[in-house]
Amino acid sequence: MILVSLVLLIVPFVFSRSMVSLINEMLIMALAGCALNLMLGYGGMVSFGPAGLYAVGAYATAILLTRYGAPFIVAVLAAPVVAAIVGAIVGWFCVRRSAVYFALLTLAFAQIIWTIIFEWYDFTNGDNGIVSIPIPEVLYVGSNIYYFSLAIVAVCIFVLWRIVNSPFGATLQAIRENPMRTEFIAVPVRRYQLAAFVISSFFLGIAGSLFCVFAGSVFPDYAHWVKSTDMLVVCLLGGIYNFAGPIVGSGVYILISKVISKNTTYWMFFLGIIIVFLVLYMRNGMVGFAAEKIFRFRNKLGAGNGEGKS
Amino acid sequence: MTIEAFIGQALSGISVGMVLFLIAAGLSIIFGTLKVLNLAHGTIYMVGGFLCYILTSKLAHIPGAFWWALLFAPIAVALIGGVIEVLLLRRIYSQEMLYQYILTFALILILGDTCKFFFGVGYQTVSVPWPVNGNIALWGLSFPTYNLFLIGCGIVVFLGLSALMRYTSLGSIVRAVTHNRETANALGINVPRVYTGVFMLGSYLAGLAGTLMPPMSVVALGSDMAVIIECFIIVVIGGLGSLPGAFLGAIILGLLNAFGIYIIPKLALAFPFMLMIVILIIRPWGLLGKPE
């Protein structure tokens, strides 16, 4: 943990500018992944629409800054609130259905968000997106924007970590394992799922807002369902049953897509092959796979020393 | 709007709807039997489109090249589907839904880039084949013949599939597997083979749609993403796994796409999704599906 944070702190001194912005992207994707994974891995709710809420966060910041000239802090802080409100409305409908119907509902809502962004020229600038968003100059000094993202992502991921390890997180996992039984012990299942949906939306909104600050522009594509599948892949790559899964997944995913796309235009092909391999042979993702290996290795070691009896 | 424009608009909406029906029917049959929501179904359709383009352009010197393409392209697509089912999908039926999504999503990437490799990134067109080119006069009004041809194809496939499912022994085997996999297995039905067959049938339908669409539209990368979303809407409206549902859903979506733009242009793109949400909330099994 400490090692990782140290490495992340000295990144701007060691790596080139482009590498730093790549890591910045990874951080934001890691946050989005963790936010999604609260639903996916802990709640067992497969959402196809995280990008919709991510885009709501990004556009909230962008519109407040460009249209209303709001102070930067206000624009950034408003993003998660707006995303959470939208998430509450969308989630209220979605948690009424489960499995494939839940997934299709989230997909439909995200596509509606995309349509609104795409069509409402007067407010969102439509498919032109919003460019040259006035970001405070101070963030462009040195690597300030990187530290800005790092600080916010670190705090958010810590909060998410506390949430999944709280009684709330445990209840959520119980719902994932068996919703009916959980209902029988007097847990209001839907209310918990809605809460997970709103919390997830809140953090997706932060991730969107951070990306808006980082990129200085927003586009309707942020809400598109392909972006949602990106986030799902990030979670799966790392492993959805480990908290660190999406964080590792984000790093690997962005690295893979950038490295392969630099060498060939057919990077999606190779990404697809990697995903197929992952689904067929490493179902718990990379972190899950590593954890299992370490566990086995420890057991072996323990048995060798005559300590591990079980 | 004049009456001619109105009917013309309705016909073109329904004819696009019929092509979408072919794709959605495949998606729905696969979901009904295999319980897999195949995200790559639209991409399989796109492969059909590229095959149609390549066959018609390579066979341009042969008269009726398009009809040869119509014969062979869907069969090729069905074979690709068979390979996919045997090599990949078969291994994840017992897994959670999420893995199916991600695996079929990976197929989108792989098939999409394969098309890019072989057919390039340009927009390809296929001209409307004889004898269904030109216009036809009905009740004193003139309509593109190809639109009517597509509607005919849709109806023929719908009736043919319904008959296949209802009256043949093959159909009853598929229905038995769909209804209860274990019992069907115990009765000596080779369930894995039925799965492969159904997946190939679904792919065949997507390939058929892919071959029929190019003369009306263009073949291009990315068309798969637009199409799969429309198919989701159709199967949700009609009911996941229901064939008549897919037929009805396709007509509704076709008309909604054709006329939505006249009602509230700004919301035309959102109408189908709103309908999808309303259906999912009040009647998740769809208009013609059965509650579980």
pLDDT tens for each residue of A8-63: 777 777 777 788 888 889 999 999 999 999 999 898 898 989 999 999 999 999 99
Tokens representing B70? Answer: 């119509």
Kindly write down the DSSP assignment for every residue of B156-170, as one continuous string: HHHHHHHHHHHHSHH
Closest chain A C-alpha to B110 CA, distance in angstroms: 4
- pLDDT value at position B145? 85
Contact predicate B93/B83, CB 8 Å: no
Chain A stretch 215-244, residues whose beta carbon is closer than 8 A to a beta carbon of chain B: 225-226, 229, 232-233, 236, 240
pLDDT tens for each residue of B181-198: 888 888 888 888 889 999
Question: Has residue A264 got a pLDDT over 90?
Answer: no
Q: Does A272 touch chain B (CB under 8 A)?
A: yes
* Contact between A266 and B113 using a beta-carbon 8 Å cutoff: yes
Of B14, B9, B5, residue with least CA distance to B248: B14
Task: State ipTM.
Answer: 0.84
Asked, as a colleague might, if the bond just before A134 is cis with ω within 30 of 0, I would say no
Q: How far apart are CA B141 and CA A279, in angstroms?
A: 55
pLDDT tens for each residue of A159-182: 999 999 999 999 999 988 888 898
Instruction: Please report, rounded to a whole number, the percentage of residues in chain B having pLDDT higher than 70.
Output: 99
Nearest chain B residue to A278, by CA: B103
Q: Which residues of B touch A109 (CB under 8 A)?
A: 273, 277
Tokens representing A80? Answer: 């998660």
Kindly write down the DSSP assignment for every residue of A133-168, as one continuous string: ----GGGGSTTHHHHHHHHHHHHHHHHHHHHHTSHH
Question: Has residue B291 got a pLDDT over 80?
Answer: no
- pLDDT value at position B251? 93
Q: Residue A207 carries which side chain, given as an amino acid letter?
A: A
Q: Where are the domains of chain B?
A: 10-132+141-282
Nearest chain B residue to A267, by CA: B113
Q: Does B225 touch chain A (CB under 8 A)?
A: yes
Average pLDDT on B147-158 reads 92
Test mutation, A37, A47, A100, chain B, max B CBs within 10 A: A100
- pLDDT value at position A88? 95
A–B interface: beta-carbon pairs under 8 A: 111
- pLDDT value at position B191? 86
Contact predicate A29/A254, CB 8 Å: yes
For residue B220, count CB atoms less than 10 angstroms from its CB and return exposed for 0-12, middle for 13-18, buried for 19 or more.
buried
Test mutation, A46, A112, A227, chain B, max B CBs within 10 A: A112
pLDDT tens for each residue of B76-104: 999 999 999 998 888 888 777 788 888 89
Mean pLDDT of chain A: 86
Q: Which residue in the block uniquely carries the two structure tokens 């179904």?
A: B41
For residue A51, count CB atoms less than 10 angstroms from its CB and return exposed for 0-12, middle for 13-18, buried for 19 or more.
buried
Instruction: Please report, rounded to a whole number, the percentage of residues in chain A having pLDDT higher than 70.
Output: 96
**Per-range mean pLDDT, top range of A3-12, A48-57, B265-274:** A48-57
Q: Which of A97, A112, A271 sits opposite B284 (nearest CB)?
A: A97
In this structure, whether the domain defined by B10-132+141-282 belongs to CATH 1.10.3470 is answered with: yes
Query: A34 or A274: whose pLDDT is higher?
Result: A34
Q: How confident is the model at residue A309 (pLDDT cuts 50, 70, 90)?
A: very low
Q: Does A185 touch chain B (CB under 8 A)?
A: no
Nearest chain B residue to A274, by CA: B106
Closest chain A C-alpha to B269 CA, distance in angstroms: 6
* Contact between A268 and B102 using a beta-carbon 8 Å cutoff: no
Nearest chain A residue to B228, by CA: A225
Test mutation, B28, B98, B231, chain A, max A CBs within 10 A: B98
Tokens representing B129? Answer: 């084949």
B135 backbone dihedrals φ, ψ, rounded to 5°: -115, 160
Nearest chain A residue to B103, by CA: A276
Q: Which residue in the block uniquely carries the two structure tokens 């009904």?
A: B32
- pLDDT value at position A306? 46
Q: How confident is the model at residue A310 (pLDDT cuts 50, 70, 90)?
A: very low
Q: Which of B103, B114, B229 sits opposite A269 (nearest CB)?
A: B114
**CA within 13 Å, CB half, A146:** 20
Q: How confident is the model at residue A304 (pLDDT cuts 50, 70, 90)?
A: low
* Contact between B270 and A119 using a beta-carbon 8 Å cutoff: yes
Q: How confident is the model at residue A142 (pLDDT cuts 50, 70, 90)?
A: confident
Test mutation, A268, A274, A281, chain B, max B CBs within 10 A: A268
* Contact between B88 and A97 using a beta-carbon 8 Å cutoff: no
Q: How confident is the model at residue A1 (pLDDT cuts 50, 70, 90)?
A: low
Query: B142 or B283: whose pLDDT is higher?
Result: B283
Question: Has residue B152 got a pLDDT over 80?
Answer: yes
- pLDDT value at position B107? 92
Nearest chain A residue to B232, by CA: A104
* Contact between B274 and A112 using a beta-carbon 8 Å cutoff: yes
Contact predicate B107/B43, CB 8 Å: yes
Of B28, B285, B33, residue with least CA distance to B172: B33
For residue A190, count CB atoms less than 10 angstroms from its CB and return exposed for 0-12, middle for 13-18, buried for 19 or more.
middle
Q: How far apart are CA B292 and CA B242, in angstroms?
A: 12
pLDDT tens for each residue of A185-236: 888 989 999 999 999 999 999 999 999 999 888 999 888 888 898 899 899 8
Closest chain B C-alpha to A13 CA, distance in angstroms: 36
pLDDT tens for each residue of B9-67: 888 889 999 999 999 999 999 988 888 888 999 999 999 999 998 888 888 788 778 88
Closest chain A C-alpha to B201 CA, distance in angstroms: 23
**Rounded (10°) angle between helices A267-281 and A245-263:** 150
- pLDDT value at position A120? 84
Nearest chain B residue to A268, by CA: B109
* Contact between B281 and A96 using a beta-carbon 8 Å cutoff: yes
Q: How confident is the model at residue B125 (pLDDT cuts 50, 70, 90)?
A: confident
Closest chain B C-alpha to A148 CA, distance in angstroms: 33
Q: Does B264 touch chain A (CB under 8 A)?
A: no
Q: How confident is the model at residue A308 (pLDDT cuts 50, 70, 90)?
A: very low
Q: Does B236 touch chain A (CB under 8 A)?
A: yes
Q: Which of B116, B240, B276 sits opposite A108 (nearest CB)?
A: B276
For residue A94, count CB atoms less than 10 angstroms from its CB and return exposed for 0-12, middle for 13-18, buried for 19 or more.
buried
Closest chain A C-alpha to B129 CA, distance in angstroms: 34
Q: How far apart are CA B40 and CA A234, in angstroms?
A: 19
